[in-house]
């Protein structure tokens, strides 16, 4: 459990209100129908996210609160995602078959939990609250993770729909930033990253997931990283050069997926008569050559890097290079919900935080001395440490409060419905 001794109950209660409200805001522009469907097993319906995040507080906090009565005892099973320690789970791939509870019932469930949480946070005796304050804090970070997942999942629901619906037409667009003289047309530049023994991992002093620690020494050799993300223009050259038809560029498992799924471009790209467009949360629009490529899998990122005579960075290289960067950029609150072209500037790195999660060449494995959280929350991160790759830096769908330079996101190598992109290394 993360050490965070200074937590003030009042402040936590206020934060609780803010974070929980943000989830509902994300779902607000959706129609009821959009909150229900599941377009592939990886995607969860929006109403499931709204329910499951409430389930988290109910299960891990409120069930220990004296006098709490669950709204519906069946939700314990229905909205358990993967906690075997809690009990059996409704099958993940069938979440989209459940019309009930409906959106209104789920919102009522949220209100039920929220009222109980506020009461508990503000009124329960100290000896009851204290042992669970940090679990409540985990719950808020958990909620923020699901805010990002809700964005990427509803994007899949809308952007795979043949009617090409618009989520919001008032999102901040690339056109706005383009006036600021993007550096992107310029040649890709690399900056040196010094070699040596460094420390990586969470240094303490705030919340972090268990998988970010312990802080430990790593040895990296000197290398250089691209100063900005790979652009759609660069990726188009890869496609034009037969990128999706040349097995020698691909990992073997990746090539199998390319053939089985018939991949010929990133997810949500559409080609007609030689012109490329993109489905975005603002609807279908022409692709811009200066915007970062997004919705590529690890396999595609790796094949692109191979084609470009480069490679993907290790997570230790990335974290070492990122040291001291401010947590700012095109994050959820920027309200673009899409990566933006790099703005001109003097800074060493562009787009390091926000825009897209950057695939690294590091498998998602425990840090030396890793200890999972104790109890049932030990299932949160540790049990997924196989068959996944680490991504770094947050995306345009990550809440600002949520991201850290030590943050280790992870997905399987064929996943591409997340906001994922490429920073080259060599």
The pair of three-digit structure tokens given for residue 88, joined into one six-digit string: 């059996």
* 379 binds a second copy, rule: CB under 8 A: yes
Whether residue 398 contacts residue 407, with contact meaning beta carbons closer than 8 Å, is answered with no
Q: Which is nearer to a second copy, 290 or 317 (CB)?
A: 317
The pair of three-digit structure tokens given for residue 209, joined into one six-digit string: 């997931």
Q: Rounded distance, CA 405 to CA 318, Å?
A: 9
**Residue 171 region, left (φ>0) first, then alpha (ψ -120 to 50), else beta?**
beta
* 160 binds a second copy, rule: CB under 8 A: yes
Closest Cα to residue 290, out of 242, 233, 369, 236?
233
* 163 binds a second copy, rule: CB under 8 A: yes
Minimum Å gap between C-beta 161 and a second copy is: 5
* 276 binds a second copy, rule: CB under 8 A: no
- Give the number of other CB atoms < 10 A from CB of residue 391: 28
Sheet holding 283-286, edge to edge: 269-272, 275-280, 283-286
Residues in the chain: 426
Which residues between 181 and 220 bind a second copy (CB under 8 A)?
197, 216-219
**Which one of 71-79, 135-143, 261-269, 402-410 is the stretch in contact with a second copy (CB under 8 A)?**
71-79
Q: Rounded distance, CA 419 to CA 75, Å?
A: 30
Question: Site size for a second copy, by CB under 8 A?
Answer: 66
Closest Cα to residue 283, out of 118, 204, 168, 111?
168
Which residue of 1, 86, 108, 365 would you call a contact of a second copy, by CB under 8 A? 365
* 85 binds a second copy, rule: CB under 8 A: yes
* 165 binds a second copy, rule: CB under 8 A: yes
* 250 binds a second copy, rule: CB under 8 A: yes
Site string for a second copy, 33-52 (x = CB under 8 A): xxxxxxxx------x-----
- What are the residues binding a second copy (CB under 8 A)? 31-40, 47, 72, 74, 77-78, 82, 84-85, 90, 96-103, 157-158, 160-163, 165, 197, 216-219, 221, 247-248, 250-255, 298-299, 302, 361-363, 365-366, 368-369, 378-379, 383-387, 413
């Amino acid at each position: 459990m993360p050490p965070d001794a200074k937590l003030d109950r009042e402040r936590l209660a206020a934060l609780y209100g803010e974070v929980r409200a943000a989830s509902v805001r994300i779902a607000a522009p959706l129609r009821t129908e959009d909150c229900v469907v599941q377009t592939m097993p990886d995607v969860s319906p929006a109403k499931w996210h709204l329910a499951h995040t409430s389930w988290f507080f109910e299960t891990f906090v409120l069930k220990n609160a004296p006098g709490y009565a669950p709204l519906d005892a069946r939700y314990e099973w229905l909205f358990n995602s993967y906690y075997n320690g809690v009990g059996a789970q409704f099958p993940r791939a069938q979440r989209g078959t459940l019309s009930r509870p409906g959106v209104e019932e789920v919102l009522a469930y949220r209100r039920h939990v929220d009222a109980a949480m506020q009461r508990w946070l503000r009124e329960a005796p100290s000896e009851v609250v204290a042992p669970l304050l940090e679990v409540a804090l985990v719950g808020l970070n958990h909620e923020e993770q699901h805010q990002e997942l809700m964005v990427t999942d509803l994007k899949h629901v809308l952007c795979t729909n043949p009617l090409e619906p618009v989520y919001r037409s008032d999102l901040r667009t690339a056109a706005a930033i383009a006036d600021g003289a993007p550096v992107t047309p310029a040649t890709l530049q690399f900056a040196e990253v010094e070699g040596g023994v460094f420390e990586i991992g969470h240094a303490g002093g705030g919340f972090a997931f268990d998988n970010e620690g312990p802080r430990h020494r790593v040895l990296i050799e000197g290398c250089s990283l691209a100063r900005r993300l790979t652009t759609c223009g660069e990726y188009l050259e890869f496609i034009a050069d037969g990128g999706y038809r040349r097995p020698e560029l691909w990992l073997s498992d990746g090539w199998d997926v390319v053939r089985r799924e018939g991949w010929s471009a990133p997810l949500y790209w559409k080609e007609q008569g030689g012109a490329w467009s993109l489905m975005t949360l603002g609807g279908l629009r022409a692709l811009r050559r200066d915007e970062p490529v997004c919705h590529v899998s690890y396999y595609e990122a790796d094949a692109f890097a191979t084609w470009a005579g480069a490679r993907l960075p290790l997570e230790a290289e990335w974290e070492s290079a990122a040291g001291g960067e401010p947590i700012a950029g095109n994050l959820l609150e920027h309200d673009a919900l899409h990566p933006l072209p790099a703005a001109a500037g003097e800074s060493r790195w562009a787009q390091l935080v926000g825009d897209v999660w950057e695939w690294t060449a590091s498998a998602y494995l425990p840090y030396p001395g890793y200890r999972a959280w104790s109890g049932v929350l030990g299932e949160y991160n540790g049990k997924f440490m196989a068959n996944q790759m680490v991504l770094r830096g947050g995306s345009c769908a990550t809440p600002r409060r949520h991201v850290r330079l030590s943050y280790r996101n992870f997905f399987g190598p064929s996943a591409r419905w997340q906001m994922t992109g490429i920073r080259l290394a060599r």
